[in-house]
Structure 1
């Protein structure tokens, strides 16, 4: 059974210890979001990454904050001061398809290990991205660390790479690596699904 974060522990998501280990502003900056971008944050929690992402995309952009927990989304609304460029979507990662969304980037931060049908999920993310759109996947290294879920519930970087490739993403690279976690960035090709061309859109 996949590991699930307990909403009752939400205070841990904004702890000083976590902020030191996971500098959200720095991570978002490295992804080079642009003003006007549309971003989907899967498993957004209390907005640890959604809020700095909303700053990066500006008033003409939009962040779709997706979480299965209504409590988490309520806390995000408080912390974000109801920013107009954040949309709040109550849905599990497994069931979210984003049919009416065309995004420039999808953030899958520290939730991939919780997802049951990983190939199905990634293909849904592929479908909601614009051509040339990117996915950023961050998760815990598959080894014992002071933060994070049990090692048995973690997904290795190599396994995550295989799932991304299987879903049709190309141009995969490691963007920001620390001892405790990895970050993989890949994109949807400009050609039709399944093509391996890596030309820019």
Structure 2
């Protein structure tokens, strides 16, 4: 009886604590993005392929009421969630993304970031050009992604040179440099995965008009 009560109590503790435990890496990622992209109150920021918007919300907190966060999604269900989020948060604007265009306004952002999105792009050259147009001169782009794991398949419609589910850093850098960006840094210890399969974050800058 005592053992059963203990197990039930433990399960309840884990259930209550789980949401808080799950927020740890999001907070860490937002903090590192804030440093890498030099976020300040009043900045205009965009998240590409924001999913359910965890990082969008944290970015909105960082740039404050005088700032702005564009949050984009291609998926209609995810976009509907982001639109609800934008309706209750004054400094967030939801944008319907396209396959070949971010649909962000020209020169609207001080920085743009995406997390595990780039390796799903079916038209990377067109999106890269759109990202470049959407950044202000001197603006930064952060791409969080992963090298392909052995034995995985390239997502449907994605260029085959990826070699699996993910994108090699070398290919990512080559494509974004071809779009006009300059590489600032690549960090290989990004949070969110285990030691066997780690994310990286590559930061680029728009130094040309």
Question: What does residue 199 of structure 2 align with?
Answer: 181
1:69 Cα deviation (Å)? 2.3
Tell me, in whole angstroms, the C-alpha distance in 2 between the residues paired with 1:171 and 1:152.
24
Q: Determine if contact 1:42/1:93 at 8 Å carries over to the other structure.
A: no
1:26 Cα deviation (Å)? 3.0
Question: What secondary structure sits across from 1:35 in the alignment?
Answer: coil
Tell me, in whole angstroms, the C-alpha distance in 2 between the residues paired with 1:159 and 1:18.
31
Tell me, in whole angstroms, the C-alpha distance in 1 between the residues paired with 2:133 and 2:85.
30
Aligned residue runs from structure 1 range 125-136, under 5 A: 125-136=131-142
Task: Indicate whether 1:86 and 2:92 are aligned.
Answer: yes
Closer/same/farther in 2, CA of residues 133 and 29 from structure 1, 3 Å limit: closer
Question: What secondary structure sits across from 1:153 in the alignment?
Answer: coil
Point out the more displaced range, 111-120 or 135-144.
135-144
Question: What does residue 25 of structure 1 align with?
Answer: 30
1:18 Cα deviation (Å)? 6.1
Question: What does residue 96 of structure 1 align with?
Answer: 102
Question: What does residue 163 of structure 1 align with?
Answer: 175
Closer/same/farther in 2, CA of residues 101 and 55 from structure 1, 3 Å limit: same
1:108 Cα deviation (Å)? 1.9
Normalised to the residue count of structure 2, the TM-score between the two structures is 0.72
Q: Determine if contact 2:106/2:135 at 8 Å carries over to the other structure.
A: no
1:171 Cα deviation (Å)? 3.7
Question: What does residue 160 of structure 2 align with?
Answer: none
Aligned residue among 41, 50, 53 for 1:44: 50
Question: What does residue 73 of structure 1 align with?
Answer: 79
Question: What does residue 139 of structure 1 align with?
Answer: 145
1:124 Cα deviation (Å)? 1.0
Normalised to the residue count of structure 1, the TM-score between the two structures is 0.74
Point out the more displaced range, 107-116 or 68-77.
68-77
Tell me, in whole angstroms, the C-alpha distance in 2 between the residues paired with 1:16 and 1:94.
37
Of structures 1 and 2, the larger Rg is shown by: 2
Gaps of at least 5 residues in structure 2 are 1-17, 156-162, 191-196
Q: Larger % of helix: which?
A: 2
Equivalent pairs counted in the alignment come to 175
Tell me, in whole angstroms, the C-alpha distance in 2 between the residues paired with 1:101 and 1:49.
22
